[in-house]
Structure 1
């Protein structure tokens, strides 16, 4: 078998090397058909502002004034009054028209009275409203709507047998109260006694009418049954001259 010459071998080797080199270069120039992954879009969350409604201001109610409490009950010749601790008058009720008197006393004394038909007093049939130490007699309850009498008869009568009821002091307009010493009352109010008696005193005599020949008067009476200590106040006491 004939042996190839060296020149032929060199040519073959060179051709092979050339082919390999070209293949390598071509392979580097070929573009890839696979898609290139793109970076994911970045989503930025935008915070939504929360709007809080401001509540409308609420009007503050004005404080309710507390009615002044009665500190004293003053018994006069034609009416009685309730006053507070400063001396300001809270109300006045005439004996000739006792409308609202029981309600006012109930509020002042802080308790309901007991009611009873009273024994006729000097011809007056009445209904008694009684608290411990105090009674109001309503005479109008039996003759309401009747003809007006000749004399200015009272619709209500008062009697106090204690110096105070539930903290409400009771006295005449001049300050005389149940429990006062009769001798001291006589010394301070000499005009209130008759012939120096220590059992009966009259205060604040007031004319409430006239007849043809006589003045009709009311007053407040203080009685000291033992002639030592005032035991009761009563009003109105009346003098019709009959």
Structure 2
């Protein structure tokens, strides 16, 4: 039944109109959902494109610095210079690695020389006695021994000569040309371990005909009671093939 002419139609909408409304709502909802998804995707892309945290970047310089070599102590520190004991006819001179020197003459008191040698070798000597056992052609001595180096000091005994009257107040003998960082030198170029031929090339005064061979150098310069000064010659002992010890001491001309 229709409404009277001139009045609006009050009948309910047809089902077709309601369907169109529902479809429209669904479309709007779908558009909103797509917008949300696109927005989330853009946000994720932006996050992934951001640079890595600064802590990761700082790790590279640290590793590079660690890889830089550090100079070793041995490459920057100069090698230590060695000390020397230079023995000659009048005594010996000890020169330290820092440039300090000490000189001993054969007639001088022994105590300063023993103290200087103790400091140079870094250890106290072993002390013993070398007695003449009634052989009055040689004196009695207190012996101060370090490895490969021996210092002899005249020992006053009852009935013996005064120190000022003996030909050998002090003397030394050594069986190595290098002791620790100390080089032991002499005016002839003699060294422990040299062969017999090498010793002969240095022109000894005499010797070489005993078994084992013993050589003497400048034994004629040995002085006895000459203004308190003592000058010595050199005795070179061997084992038959090589030099085993070098001794600076008074050598009588008759030998």
- SS of residue paired to 1:208: coil
Between Structure 1 and Structure 2, the one with more helix by share is 2
Instruction: Give the distance between the partners of 1:120 and 1:155, measured in 2 at CA.
Output: 14
Residues 173-201 of structure 1: per-residue CA shift (max 9 Å, x gap): 222121122211212x1244447778222
Measure the CA separation in 2 of the matches of 1:239 and 1:175. Answer: 23
TM-score, with structure 1 as normaliser? 0.56
State the Cα deviation string for residues 5-59 of structure 1 (Å, max 9, x = none).
xxxxxxxxxxxxxxxxxxxxxxxxxxxxxxxxxxxxxxxxxxxxxxxxxxxxxxx
Report the equivalent of 1:50.
none
Counterpart of 2:175 in structure 1 is: 161
TM-score for the superposition, normalised by structure 2: 0.54
Number of aligned positions between the proteins? 167
Helix, strand or coil for the counterpart of 1:107?
helix
**Bigger CA radius of gyration:** 1
1:18-37 matched pairs, under 5 angstroms: none
Change (3 A) 1:120 1:167: farther
Structure 1 residue aligned with 2:127: 115
> Which shifted more, 74-83 or 196-205?
196-205
Inter-partner Cα distance in structure 2 for 1:69 and 1:80: 19
SS in 2 for 1:97: coil
Alpha-carbon distance in 2 for matches of 1:138, 1:148: 10
Aligned match of 1:136: 151
5+ long unaligned stretches in structure 1: 1-67
**CA RMSD for the aligned pairs?**
3.6
Alpha carbons 1:70, 1:82 under 8 Å: kept: no
Is the Cα contact below 8 Å between 1:177 and 1:230 reproduced in 2?
yes
- Tell me which of 209, 213, 223 is aligned to 1:208: 223
Q: Matches of 2:130 and 2:250 in 1, distance apart?
A: 18
**1:210 positional shift:** 7.5
1:29 — aligned with what?
none
Distance 2:88 2:119 in 1: 20
Q: Distance in 1 between matches of 2:140 and 2:222?
A: 24
Tell me the residue number matched to 1:72. Answer: 84
* 8 A contact 1:125–1:139 mirrored in 2: yes
Deviation at 1:142, TM superposition (A): 4.1
